[in-house]
Amino acid sequence: MTRLTAVLAYHARSKHTSERYAAGPGTLDWDTQPAAFREWAGTHQQALPREVQMSHITWGELAAPRAAAPFNTANLGSLLRLCAGLTAWKEYAGARWSLRAHPSSGNLHPTETWLIAANIPGLEGGLYHYQNLHHALERRAWNDTQAAQGVWLGFSSIHWREAWKYGERAFRYCQLDMGHVLAAVAYAAALHGWRPRLLTLDSASVAGTLGVNRANDFIGVEHEEAEVILALDACPDEPPHNWQHWAGKPNLLDAHPLYQWPVIEEVAEATRGTLPLAHGTSPASATSAVTNDISATQVILKRRSAQAFDGLSVMPLAVFQKMLASLLPGGSPVWDMWPHTARVHPLMMVHRVAGMAPGLYVLPRTATQVDALKTAMRETFTWQPVDTQLPLYQLIAARAGKTARTLSCHQDIATQCAVTFMLVAEFAAPVAADPAAYRHLHWEAGMLGHVLTLEAEAAGWRGTGIGCFFDDADHEVLGLKDDCFQVLYHYAIGMAVDDPRISTLPAYP
Ligand SMILES: Cc1cc2nc3c(=O)[nH]c(=O)nc-3n(C[C@H](O)[C@H](O)[C@H](O)COP(=O)(O)O)c2cc1C
């Protein structure tokens, strides 16, 4: 089987349909949920300062250029809290669970965060695992000599965390989560005046640098899949690697795994590769009338996924427009970190937005894809331009609440929200050109979800990712007959209804 056929076969078999969900565990014993935190026993652990810096910057000012903060433990602790740290503990009926700065499918958090430090005051040089539970760094590897000053973040996924609950579809969720994490880093870095750059290292180099290829260290415990490394600000393109000293042993997360999903390792292998060089991005293409003086760090730390929406609230048009503008290249710091040609495009089932007829809308993120989308989708779609600033088109006027619910695996949030997004990716061509694009398209979709969720939060609304949807039913509604385009993610934005029975406790008491 070639890499391409492996990816296409995985994508097809991990689709949900209303008759058959992708293969997953028939039964789940909640008491045997894998441990939520990976820890490296035998490493030196260094607590990070817990205080969040930059809380004076408002959401409206977040994207403005600012001087880079110095690299030190206070600022790095602040960065990590804002992108990968815990934001709260929740308690209900004897159950207790933590939330993080980014959402995660099933709150299972497959992404592990690594930090490489060279010549940072207060921190020995080396490779560190970020231990979210204690907001600490575990020193995993180091060299005898120090490199020039720099900070890099690396990421790996523990597939089993998601596969335990979601079976074969879990690889997609790991990749969508990765996109959320990258977007969270972009926002947190922007607050500190740092411009993160994703490095074009191949998967084997990322694995070697993060040590997740050290098979002996992972004997008997869950393996980690290398994802990507980014340089914070103007650090060299090549992080320190070829570590001379290693320490630590990872903990076992699940002592009694009941099922196995070998196709996940197959698709992981088929999608290893290199992030391509970026083509550059265009400057912000839309301006917004909405100013926002809420603290940006508050937006990030208070972000939650809605578990229910009120089904009534009408979203002001300006909020909707600002949200859409931030999805366009140049519209958010996230797209500075992802300066690739946009390949994932939002379609919206608008239920309740002031001044907009309920119906299906599309926001092509590149002008060049308008014709391709027109050709691929239903001929009867009207492509009526509806905004003077945004490339926003109405495709059809219709009340689509029930359709949105059905397509989203019958989940009420998809109809109670104000808008249900379907994120549709250019698919067949990019994946054929490079099977690793399968990961990158999911990252882009996850980033779009993260931008939506923080923009919604900043405006007093709330978002929820929807990884469970009926793939080909979506494609039928849109009239997509082949896999030139594929929907990779749904997102619901609306007015949240909180559950008063759930209590909230501080992340780091
Ligand atoms: C990729 C992805 C898929 C998700 N899919 C669903 C979904 O289908 N239904 C749902 O109610 N929530 C979904 N969520 C929301 C998660 O359940 C939520 O993020 C998690 O419980 C953590 O809560 P928090 O976001 O408030 O921190 C999804 C989140 C992500 C990132």
**Ligand 1 atom closest to residue 408's alpha carbon, by position in its atom list:** 8
Distance 245 CA to ligand 1 centre (A): 38
| Co-location of 458 and 378 in the same domain | yes
In a domain, 30, yes or no: no
**Ligand 1 atom closest to residue 469's alpha carbon, by position in its atom list:** 8
Cα 402 from Cα 445, distance rounded (Å)? 24
Ligand 1, atom 31: closest residue by C-alpha: 104
| Co-location of 210 and 319 in the same domain | no
| Co-location of 67 and 143 in the same domain | yes
Ligand 1, atom 7: closest residue by C-alpha: 466
| Co-location of 261 and 312 in the same domain | no
For residue 445, what are its two tokens?
């979709």
In a domain, 2, yes or no: no
**Ligand 1 atom closest to residue 449's alpha carbon, by position in its atom list:** 31
- The confidence score (pLDDT) of residue 135 equals 98
Cα 185 from Cα 152, distance rounded (Å)? 11
Distance 308 CA to ligand 1 centre (A): 12
| Co-location of 229 and 317 in the same domain | no
| Co-location of 252 and 315 in the same domain | no
Distance 181 CA to ligand 1 centre (A): 13
Distance 304 CA to ligand 1 centre (A): 9
| Co-location of 300 and 263 in the same domain | no
Distance 373 CA to ligand 1 centre (A): 28
Predicted confidence (pLDDT) per residue in 356-414, tens digit: 999 999 999 999 999 999 999 999 999 999 999 999 999 999 999 999 999 999 999 99
In a domain, 431, yes or no: yes
In a domain, 54, yes or no: yes
Distance 486 CA to ligand 1 centre (A): 21
| Co-location of 325 and 372 in the same domain | yes
In a domain, 342, yes or no: yes
Confidence category of residue 279, pLDDT binned at 50, 70, 90: low
Q: 156 pairs with which residues across the strands?
A: 112, 226
pLDDT exceeds 50 at position 482: yes
Distance 434 CA to ligand 1 centre (A): 29
| Co-location of 229 and 326 in the same domain | no
In this structure, are residues 457 and 302 in contact, taking their beta carbons and an 8 Å threshold?
A: yes
pLDDT exceeds 90 at position 467: yes
From 412, 452, 464, give the residue whose CB has the most ligand 1 atoms within 8 Å, as the site to mutate: 464
- The confidence score (pLDDT) of residue 285 equals 43
- The confidence score (pLDDT) of residue 284 equals 44
Cα 14 to chain centroid distance, Å, stands at 19
Distance 465 CA to ligand 1 centre (A): 5
- The confidence score (pLDDT) of residue 286 equals 41
Segment 475-483 shows an average pLDDT of: 97
From 21, 104, 299, give the residue whose CB has the most ligand 1 atoms within 8 Å, as the site to mutate: 104
Q: Which of 445, 444, 443, 458 is nearest to 493 (CA)?
A: 458
In a domain, 3, yes or no: no
Write down which residue in 270, 305, 330 finishes a domain: 270
pLDDT exceeds 90 at position 81: yes
Cα 505 from Cα 89, distance rounded (Å)? 5
Burial (CB count within 10 angstroms: exposed 0-12, middle 13-18, buried 19+), residue 372: middle
Distance 239 CA to ligand 1 centre (A): 33
Cα 171 from Cα 110, distance rounded (Å)? 10
CB neighbours of 4 closer than 8 A, spacing ≥ 6?
Answer: 270, 431, 432, 435
Ligand 1, atom 6: closest residue by C-alpha: 466
| Co-location of 380 and 443 in the same domain | yes
Tally the domains of the chain: 2
Distance 299 CA to ligand 1 centre (A): 18
CA atoms within 13 A on the CB side of 372: 19
Q: Which of 66, 53, 103 is nearest to 451 (CA)?
A: 103
| Co-location of 107 and 144 in the same domain | yes
Burial (CB count within 10 angstroms: exposed 0-12, middle 13-18, buried 19+), residue 302: middle
Distance 103 CA to ligand 1 centre (A): 6
Distance 105 CA to ligand 1 centre (A): 4
In a domain, 277, yes or no: no
**Domain that includes residue 420, residue range:** 296-494
Write down which residue in 255, 270, 285 finishes a domain: 270
| Co-location of 463 and 367 in the same domain | yes
Ligand 1, atom 29: closest residue by C-alpha: 105
Ligand 1, atom 19: closest residue by C-alpha: 103
From 89, 305, 447, give the residue whose CB has the most ligand 1 atoms within 8 Å, as the site to mutate: 305
Segment 45-59 shows an average pLDDT of: 97
User: Which runs of E-coded beta strand occur in 65-110?
Assistant: 86-92, 95-100
Ligand 1, atom 9: closest residue by C-alpha: 466
Segment 331-346 shows an average pLDDT of: 96
What CATH number corresponds to the domain at position 381? 3.40.109.10
In this structure, are residues 248 and 302 in contact, taking their beta carbons and an 8 Å threshold?
A: no
Distance 454 CA to ligand 1 centre (A): 14
**Ligand 1 atom closest to residue 100's alpha carbon, by position in its atom list:** 27
Confidence category of residue 281, pLDDT binned at 50, 70, 90: low
In a domain, 502, yes or no: no
Lowest mean pLDDT among 56-65, 233-242, 286-295, 409-418: 286-295
Confidence category of residue 430, pLDDT binned at 50, 70, 90: very high
From 105, 177, 410, give the residue whose CB has the most ligand 1 atoms within 8 Å, as the site to mutate: 105
Ligand 1 pocket residues where CB is under 6 Å: 99, 103-107, 173, 176-177, 180, 304-305, 411, 413, 464-468
